[in-house]
Amino acid sequence: MKTGWVVIGLLAVMTAVEFAIAVMAKDSLLLALLLIIALAKGWLIIQYFMHFGQLWEHVSDAWYGMLNDDPAADSDED
């Protein structure tokens, strides 16, 4: 639960900074800064709210499952 509040706090701060930058910066500097902040905000949501780290566990589970799929054993069972 605490993670959620920390992440939303960081997102709020970044949104405020993003807005302030849009008022102050211009042209390519503005574009670069906005892109960096959007990437950071997106990463926070994907990493902590969407549990991106667990994706590798799912991939390894799927890989492990495929490697251990033994059709011969199934035929024996039949």
Answer for which of 17, 31, 32, 53 binds other proteins (CB under 8 A) is 31
Could you say whether residue 12 binds other proteins (CB under 8 A)? yes
Only one residue has tokens 């799912």, namely 58
Rounded to 10 degrees, the C-alpha dihedral 68/52/32/8 comes to: 180
- Token pair, residue 58, equals 């799912």
In 1-78, which ranges are continuous DSSP H helix?
2-24, 27-44, 53-67, 71-77
4 binds other proteins (CB under 8 A): yes
Q: Determine if 24 is a binding residue for other proteins (CB under 8 A).
A: no
For residue 70, report the phi and psi dihedrals to the nearest 5 degrees.
-115, 95
Q: Which residues bind other proteins (CB under 8 A)?
A: 1, 4-5, 7-8, 11-12, 15, 18-19, 21-22, 27, 30-31, 34-35, 37-38, 41-42, 45-46, 49-50, 54-55, 58-59, 61-62, 64-66, 68-71, 73-75, 77-78
